[in-house]
Structure 1
Amino acid sequence: MRLFRRTTGIADSHRRLVWQSVSLLLAYPENDAEGMPGYADRLALVEGVIDDLPPSVAGPLRSCVDGLTGSEVHEAAQRYVETFDLRRRRSLFLTYWTDGDTRNRGNAMLQFADAYREAGVEPPDGELPDHLAVVLEFGATVEFKAGMALLRRYRAPLALLQDALGQMGSPYAGAVEAVLATVPEPDPEQTRREAQRIAQEGPPSESVGLDPYSVTVPVDALAASLRTVGGSR
């Protein structure tokens, strides 16, 4: 099991483009509603920017898009729910890995909300602030350095998530692999020990219920955001 890969030379503009793309891929699959981007629209948006990225991240992203393309929305939604199963340690909620599905997660999630507010934005309504798709969109479009700090802090859970997705053969493994390629390890040995501890012990358990992340930005705005992110190189 190879959890940790060293990042290669990736420009910050490429990192932001990867983060915005993966935030779309990790949103709950659903049809268009009131101008919001549907499942097929999101895949097309990401497909349209892959060629602008270096191979180290373009390959995993393409693998994810190819693996997700062709499914009906209801099939994709069922696969999404089955894939990101808390009981099987495939959670997209970053603090779940360290604090479990418990009420003790409040302080950990508050750090995410505080980071958003310090950057001048409010946490999204109806979404938990530690959802990976939310963090990625924040880092890509609002405050890159703050987003990177959050991702680096939770790099061990990201590595475990990617490994779990890879073991089940999920296309989503490519999306998380692309994110990992953009996030340097602050302390490789410490990260390794943390990942081993989480893998052995597992998160604390106390179910309080978690909902999937949904895209709330109109498709035209998302397309413009991706063009802006990609054009800032």
Structure 2
Amino acid sequence: MSLLKLVGVLLDYPQDALWQHGDELLAAADDPGLPQARRAALAGFVRELLASDPLEAQDRWLSLFDRGRSMSLLLFEHIHGESRDRGQAMVDLIEAYRKNGFELDAKELPDYLPLLLEYLSLRPQEEARDWLHHVSHIIGLLAARAGERQSPYALLLELLVEYAEGGLDLGALRKRASEEPRDDTAEVMDRLWEEEAVRFGAEAPGEDCQPATRLPSRAATPAAPRQVQP
């Protein structure tokens, strides 16, 4: 299992089957291409995850990645928000997958980071680094936000920035993250739901049916494991 494949698996929602492949995950964490300190930290992350109760691990994942927009693993959400440009960008990404002989095998958005990592793990290293370099500013900010929330997932995101050989100033990003208002608190999420409730008459949405902000998912039931099949 390559490093990108491993990080994608670990960033994804922790399905129960994850605990059945502990030895494989630990073996992949011992990647000789990583500095010794990073290898030890990655192995520690895997051991801690495997030692966790699956329900608790799943709840931690949902609390970090599924509450609010700032930690979304949907990359285009950080670039395009809910604009029409996002739809075209996803069409282009799907075409890039297909051009290289791959087809999505799940009802998952193509810009979902673990899915992209699975695809890139099957591409030449130089190409994978280039892809990640182009989105490293997003991944770096996600890493900074995760670190600000004292989440161990920050390690995985930092590894991706380092893999892309990006010249990001993580210190500056951490400072920015520390100054951002949190969007994952109960108060903020309740306010979003109130603002986005169905309205009629003069308060109804415009003809494009686009709400001002995205509805929080309220920890929806996750989909089946995502895969990119040749």
Answer yes or no: same fold by TM over 0.5.
Answer: yes
Conservation of the 8 A alpha-carbon contact between 1:26 and 1:133: yes
Per the TM alignment, residue 21 of structure 1 is displaced from its structure 2 partner at its CA by 0.5
Per the TM alignment, residue 213 of structure 1 is displaced from its structure 2 partner at its CA by 6.2
Unaligned stretches of 5+ residues in structure 2: 183-210
Identity of aligned residues (%): 26
Conservation of the 8 A alpha-carbon contact between 1:28 and 1:214: no
**Matches of 1:161 and 1:205 in 2, distance apart?**
23
Matches within 5 A, 1:131-210: 131-142=112-123, 144-185=125-166, 206-207=213-214
Greater Rg over alpha carbons, structure? 2
* Matching residue's letter, 1:96: E
Per the TM alignment, residue 181 of structure 1 is displaced from its structure 2 partner at its CA by 1.4
The root-mean-square deviation of aligned C-alpha atoms, in Å, is 3.4
**Matched pairs, number:** 191
Per the TM alignment, residue 214 of structure 1 is displaced from its structure 2 partner at its CA by 4.5
SS at match of 1:28: coil
Unaligned stretches of 5+ residues in structure 1: 1-15, 32-37, 218-233
Per the TM alignment, residue 49 of structure 1 is displaced from its structure 2 partner at its CA by 2.1
* Matching residue's letter, 1:155: S
Per the TM alignment, residue 154 of structure 1 is displaced from its structure 2 partner at its CA by 0.8
SS at match of 1:90: coil
| Distance verdict in 2 for CA 1:200–1:51, change over 3 Å | closer
Residue range with higher mean Cα deviation, 58-67 or 158-167: 58-67
Higher relative contact order (CA 8 A, sep 6+): 1
2:29 counterpart residue number: 50
SS at match of 2:150: coil
Question: Residue 25 in 1 paired to residue 10 in 2?
Answer: yes
Per the TM alignment, residue 46 of structure 1 is displaced from its structure 2 partner at its CA by 1.8
- Runs (4+) of structure 1 exceeding 4 A deviation are 142-146, 199-202, 208-214
Per the TM alignment, residue 99 of structure 1 is displaced from its structure 2 partner at its CA by 1.3
**Matches of 1:125 and 1:76 in 2, distance apart?**
23
1:215 counterpart residue number: 225
| Distance verdict in 2 for CA 1:129–1:143, change over 3 Å | farther
1:70 counterpart residue number: 51
SS at match of 1:49: helix
TM-score, length-scaled by structure 2: 0.69
Per the TM alignment, residue 101 of structure 1 is displaced from its structure 2 partner at its CA by 4.3
Per the TM alignment, residue 62 of structure 1 is displaced from its structure 2 partner at its CA by 2.2
2:110 counterpart residue number: 129
Per the TM alignment, residue 150 of structure 1 is displaced from its structure 2 partner at its CA by 2.6
**Matches of 1:160 and 1:176 in 2, distance apart?**
9
**Matches of 1:101 and 1:86 in 2, distance apart?**
17
**Matches of 1:105 and 1:159 in 2, distance apart?**
21
**Matches of 2:93 and 2:181 in 1, distance apart?**
24
| Distance verdict in 2 for CA 1:173–1:208, change over 3 Å | same
